[in-house]
Every structure is written in structure tokens, then in C-alpha cells.
């Protein structure tokens, strides 16, 4: 996890160059293709035609012995199923979606990836093993960040929580592509945003904190940004870690001011912007998903969208005052 106040022990992860997390490999997060039979601008499909469901499949026969421990950890935790269950309860999809934990992946795939049509998410077992190994090293070599609970600062919990966030990123891609959602920026930013939106609202702070810890260490291993990294459609790795923390802090500044900002993990120059950033993200995703709410979820979803809208108005007004204070103090 980033700490601008300084941290003591730092890991040096023995990661291969192919481990670029959260679907950041170009092979996994390219632009989507439109669904056949629905042209651009056609809008949401009629409700009666929407019957898709998300299922999670573990193809255990394909898993190599060295990857069985990591796969068993994720399977027993049911974090993939938790995300899938929320989508099934809350949304109606035009097509089924299958999440495959399998070694039989398309050629060139090494990370968790979403197919361009949004109907399949691949999670290679070696990818889970790499995450587990990286976090085992973190636990051994990095002092526990103050915001992270001591009871969960172990390899298993960090692996489960960070995988839940990474899977949220892939689910964000899948929803954008199946539902043909409009983006006002890069799709990778939106996918990261869905991971924060879903996990902060439905799970709590754990996935964001664990993902920040993991991405911070990967950034340190990467060293100085390269031309390839700077020109990627993904934000720079270290920037992503700060974004995860900003959305989390902005969701409840009173709760996280001391543990994230005062402790130096989220810079005081960034923190004043985070409540409005979270409010915009939260309102944006509720609004994007609103036409696709299931009948059973519609009342709750509409209420959440309404509350998010009111908060966005309030936080935008508050930000205007904070900006004036910041400028006057310079």
C-alpha cells in the first residue's frame, strides 16, 4: 500500500514480467466488439429478452499440481461466486456469462482476462499462484500497513481479498461489453472503478486495501515507469493503488481520515478531492446500471441511485469550498 510518510521494510517481488495484474495485459483488455444483432445506439434490449446468468466453473482437471493450492483457496473462499451472485440478483444480462478458472485459455493469455463480447472471463490458475506467491513475500518483508487489520495480514486473506478486487475489474469489463455501456474515459479506468464501486458498497474496505498493497509492491518491482508503461491504456501501476485508496477514503472520510490520510498512505494533497470523486463514481455506476436492474432489485437500485445523486450534488458543492480554501493557502 502506498505510504507517502515512509514505510520500513519493502519487498522485492520475484514476479515474472507477464504478471501485470487485474487484466492489465493487452491480450486481455482490448476494446470490445458490439453484440451481433444490436447496432450502435440501439439502447437497452427489451426486458423479456434478458435471461443471462453468471456462472463460475472450476476446470480442476486442467490445474497443474503447483497451482492447486491457490485455486483451492479461491474456490473455498467463494469470492468469485459472491460477485457473480450480486450480478445475478441485481442485473439482467442479454447473454449468459461464464467465469472459467482453467488452464485452457486462449493463446497468449497469462492474466485474468475478459473476452471482447463480455460472455467469458478466464482466470488462469498460474495467475492465482503468482498472486499468492507475491503476497506471501509481502507478508514476510513488509510491515503491516496501519489501515489493514492485523488478523487479516496473512497470505491467504490478502490473496482472497485482492483476487476479489481483481475479479471486480474483470466483471466491470464484462458488464461494459455485454450491456454496451457508454464510457467517458478509458475502459480500463472504468473497470477499476467498478471494482471499487462493487467492493466498497457490497464487501467493505478489505479488497481495496489488499489490492493497494499488492499493486504498490508490483510498482516497486517495476521501478521507474517505461515508455511502454506510460503509453498503456492502463493507468501507471502506482497511480492505480492511490486511486483504490482515494475511492475508499472518499466513501467515508470520517472513517478513513486517520487510518489513510493522517497515517500518510493517501497524500493530503489528494484526499480533499476523494469524497467528490467517490460520489461521482458511485452515482455514475448506479446510473449506468439502472436500465438493467432486475425486477427484484429495481426498488433498491433506484433508491441507491437517488441517494448517490444527492450525495454527488452535496460533495460537488463542498468541493467548491475546499478548492477555494486550498487556493487561498498557496
The dihedral region occupied by 78, where left means phi > 0, alpha psi between -120 and 50, and beta the remainder, is left
Question: Does residue 7 register a pLDDT over 50?
Answer: no
User: Grid coordinates standing for 202?
Assistant: 457490497
Share of the chain above pLDDT 90, in %: 72
pLDDT at 239: 83
pLDDT at 274: 97
pLDDT band at 276 (very low <50, low <70, confident <90, very high): very high
Question: Does residue 237 register a pLDDT over 60?
Answer: yes
Q: Quick one: CA dihedral 59, 64, 68, 69, positive or negative?
A: negative
pLDDT band at 329 (very low <50, low <70, confident <90, very high): low
Tens-digit pLDDT profile for residues 152-177: 999 999 999 999 999 999 999 999 99
Average pLDDT of the chain? 85
- Region 142-159: what's the mean pLDDT? 95
Of 29-33, 296-300, 311-315, the poorest mean pLDDT is in 29-33
- Supply the DSSP string of 80-115, one letter for each residue: HHHHHHHHHHHB-BSS-EEEEE-S---TT--S-EE-
Q: Are strands 113-114 and 120-123 parallel, antiparallel or unpaired?
A: antiparallel
User: Which among 122, 119, 99, 113 is positioned nearest to 30, based on CA atoms?
Assistant: 113
How close are the terminal C-alpha atoms of the chain, in Å?
A: 29
User: Grid coordinates standing for 105?
Assistant: 485459455
Name the residue with cell 497511480: 239
pLDDT at 149: 94
- The rounded distance, in Å, linking the Cα atoms of 84 and 306 is 24
Of 88-97, 264-273, 295-304, the poorest mean pLDDT is in 264-273
Tens-digit pLDDT profile for residues 13-69: 333 333 344 333 333 343 333 333 333 334 444 444 557 999 999 999 999 999 999
* Sheet of strand 97-101, all strands in order from the earlier edge strand to the far edge: 54-58, 97-101, 120-123, 113-114
Name the residue with cell 480554501: 325
Amino acid at each position: 500500500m502506498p505510504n507517502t510518510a515512509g514505510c520500513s521494510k519493502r519487498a522485492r517481488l520475484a514476479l515474472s514480467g507477464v504478471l501485470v495484474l487485474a487484466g492489465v495485459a493487452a491480450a486481455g483488455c482490448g476494446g470490445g466488439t458490439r453484440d451481433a444483432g444490436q447496432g450502435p445506439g440501439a439502447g437497452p434490449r427489451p426486458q423479456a429478452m434478458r435471461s443471462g446468468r453468471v456462472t463460475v466453473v472450476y476446470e480442476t482437471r486442467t490445474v497443474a499440481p503447483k497451482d492447486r493450492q491457490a485455486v483451492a483457496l479461491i474456490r473455498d473462499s467463494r469470492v468469485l461466486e459472491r460477485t457473480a451472485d450480486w450480478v445475478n440478483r441485481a442485473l439482467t444480462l442479454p447473454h449468459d456469462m461464464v467465469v472459467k478458472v482453467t488452464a485452457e485459455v486462449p493463446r497468449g493469455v497469462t492474466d485474468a482476462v475478459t473476452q471482447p463480447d463480455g460472455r467469458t472471463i478466464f482466470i488462469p490458475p498460474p495467475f492465482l499462484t503468482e498472486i499468492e506467491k507475491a503476497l506471501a513475500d509481502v507478508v514476510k518483508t513488509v510491515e503491516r500497513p496501519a489501515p489493514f487489520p492485523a488478523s487479516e495480514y496473512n497470505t491467504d486473506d490478502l490473496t482472497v481479498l485482492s483476487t476479489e478486487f481483481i475479479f471486480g475489474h474483470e466483471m466491470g469489463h464484462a458488464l461494459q461489453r455485454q450491456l454496451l455501456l457508454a464510457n467517458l474515459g478509458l475502459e480500463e479506468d472504468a473497470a477499476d472503478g467498478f471494482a471499487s464501486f462493487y467492493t466498497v458498497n457490497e464487501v467493505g474496505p478489505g479488497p481495496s486495501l489488499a489490492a493497494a498493497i499488492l499493486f504498490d509492491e508490483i510498482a516497486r518491482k517495476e521501478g521507474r515507469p517505461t515508455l511502454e508503461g506510460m503509453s498503456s491504456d492502463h493507468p501507471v501501476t502506482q497511480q492505480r493503488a492511490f486511486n483504490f485508496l482515494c475511492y475508499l477514503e472518499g466513501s467515508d472520510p470520517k472513517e478513513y481520515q486517520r487510518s489513510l490520510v493522517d497515517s500518510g498512505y493517501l497524500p493530503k494533497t489528494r484526499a480533499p478531492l476523494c469524497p467528490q470523486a467517490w460520489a461521482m463514481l458511485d452515482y455514475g455506476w448506479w446510473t449506468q446500471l439502472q436500465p438493467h436492474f432486475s425486477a427484484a432489485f429495481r426498488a433498491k437500485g433506484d433508491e441507491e441511485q437517488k441517494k448517490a445523486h444527492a450525495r454527488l450534488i452535496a460533495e460537488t458543492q463542498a468541493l467548491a469550498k475546499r478548492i477555494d480554501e486550498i487556493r487561498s493557502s498557496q
